[in-house]
Amino acid sequence: MFHDTGLQLPFSDTQQRFELDGADHAREFLRDRGFSRSAAEAVWTAIALHTTPGLPDRWAPRRLPPTTAY
């Protein structure tokens, strides 16, 4: 869902790829709702990199903490 928000106003920023706009929006959304910084960063990474061929396959696997940690 957040990946595509980077295509819409007010989240679209012509200075960067729309995937990054969507990732930025997702991170802010999660942090505003009390999610941990590490969870928000993991979501940012997943959104920002999922359309970058080759890079996600080489990225170190990340695991989110249990939901009770939020």
Query: For position 66, what pLDDT does the model report?
Result: 57
Query: For position 34, what pLDDT does the model report?
Result: 95
pLDDT at 9 over 90: no
DSSP for the chain, written as a single string? -HHHHTTSTTT--TTS-HHHHHHHHHHHHHHHTT--HHHHHHHHHHHHHTTSTTHHHHSPP--PPPGGG-
pLDDT tens for residues 17-57? 878 888 888 999 999 999 999 999 988 888 888 777 666 66
Query: For position 23, what pLDDT does the model report?
Result: 87
Pair of tokens at residue 37: 């910084």
Model-level pTM? 0.65
Query: For position 47, what pLDDT does the model report?
Result: 84
